[in-house]
A = this chain, B = another copy of it.
C-alpha cells in the first residue's frame, strides 16, 4: 500500500517534469544523490512532498509552482532554478514567473527578488526562452 502512495507521488512528479533516458525524474531532484547517507530521503520526497502534498486537491499545478517559488524567494534558498523549470513544464509562462518574482519586491525587498531573477534568467537562457516584455 505504501507502494501506492509512492506510485501516486511518482505519477504526480511525472506531471511536473520531462524525464529522458538519462534522467528518469527529469530536472527534478528527489534526493537520490543522498542514497549513501539518507536512503530514505527520496521516499519522503516522493511520498510526502509529491504523493501527499503536491497531489492534494485545492490548487492546480501552475498555482502550486507559483506558491513554491514565492516561498523560496522569501526564504532566499538556492533551489529556485529547479522550480522555475517545473513552472515552465506545467505551463507557467516566463512572464508569469517573472511577474511572480517582481510582485514580491514590496514583501521581501529587492535583494531577495534580484537573486531570484538571476536564477530564473539562467534557466531561461539555458532553454533559449525569450520573454515578451510587459508594456508599462
Contact = CB atoms under 8 A, between A and B. Distances in A.
Nearest to A93: B58
A106 interface: yes
Nearest to A124: B37
B70 A74 contact: yes
Interface in A44-95: 44-45, 48-49, 52-54, 56-59, 63-64, 66-68, 70-79, 94-95
Contact of A135 (B49, B57, B120, B133): B57
Query: Could you tell me the dominant secondary structure of chain A's interface residues?
Result: helix
Interface residues of A, number: 71
Nearest to A105: B53
Copies of this polypeptide in the complex: 6
A128 interface: no
Given A2-B5, A36-B130, A40-B52, 6 more contacts: A31-B117, A38-B98, A63-B100, A68-B70, A77-B115, A78-B111
Interface of A: 1-2, 4-5, 29, 31, 33-34, 36-41, 43-45, 48-49, 52-54, 56-59, 63-64, 66-68, 70-79, 94-96, 98-112, 114-115, 117, 120-121, 124, 130-131, 133-136
